[in-house]
Amino acid sequence: MKKFLQNNRWAVLWGLLIFVLTCVPGTVLPKLPSYIDLFQPDKLVHTFIFAVFFFLLVRGFRKKGTPASVSRNAIILTFLISLGVAGLTELLQEFVIPKRVASPWDFIANVAGCFLGWGVEGMWGRREVERKT
């Protein structure tokens, strides 16, 4: 557990930030202009925070000293954890946080962020390989 936290400290901190932001009551949030739910500016925020979360988590899973079974399955584990966090944040907003509601569009933006983080991590990894050769 100590090695996991050491390798994934930034992902864990970012995940905690996601939960803190999720727990902000709806009355505190600024009102943003909306066109249709899918294209509200907050969807970009959802996409960004989950892209960063995915990137940090998968990078932590691939660090030296991580068990081979975890490192080999880093993408799958990262998707499972990220999707779990995405779903949990929506459930918290629906059932726990005052003046907040769950939104399938937010969940879709979170998932899109996971895919974006996967793409960025893939490009980052290729650049590291090219630099070593």
Q: What is the pLDDT of residues 13-56, one digit of tens each?
A: 998 988 888 777 756 555 655 555 556 778 888 999 999 999 99
Judge whether 74 lies within some domain. yes
Share of residues in the chain with pLDDT > 70 (%): 84
Task: Give pLDDT, residue 30.
Answer: 58
Judge whether 34 lies within some domain. no
What is the model's pTM?
A: 0.75
Whole-angstrom distance, CA of residue 87 vs CA of residue 66: 26
Whole-angstrom distance, CA of residue 126 vs CA of residue 78: 19
Judge whether 98 lies within some domain. yes
Q: Of residues 41 and 10, which shows the higher confidence score? A: 10
Task: Give pLDDT, residue 98.
Answer: 84
User: What is the number of domains present in the chain?
Assistant: 1
What is the CA 127 to chain-centroid distance, rounded?
A: 22
Judge whether 106 lies within some domain. yes
Judge whether 87 lies within some domain. yes
Judge whether 53 lies within some domain. yes
Cβ-contact 123, 51 below 8 angstroms: no
Mean pLDDT for 2-22 is 86
Find the domain containing 94 and state its range. 2-22+40-132
Both tokens of 39, joined, read 């294209």
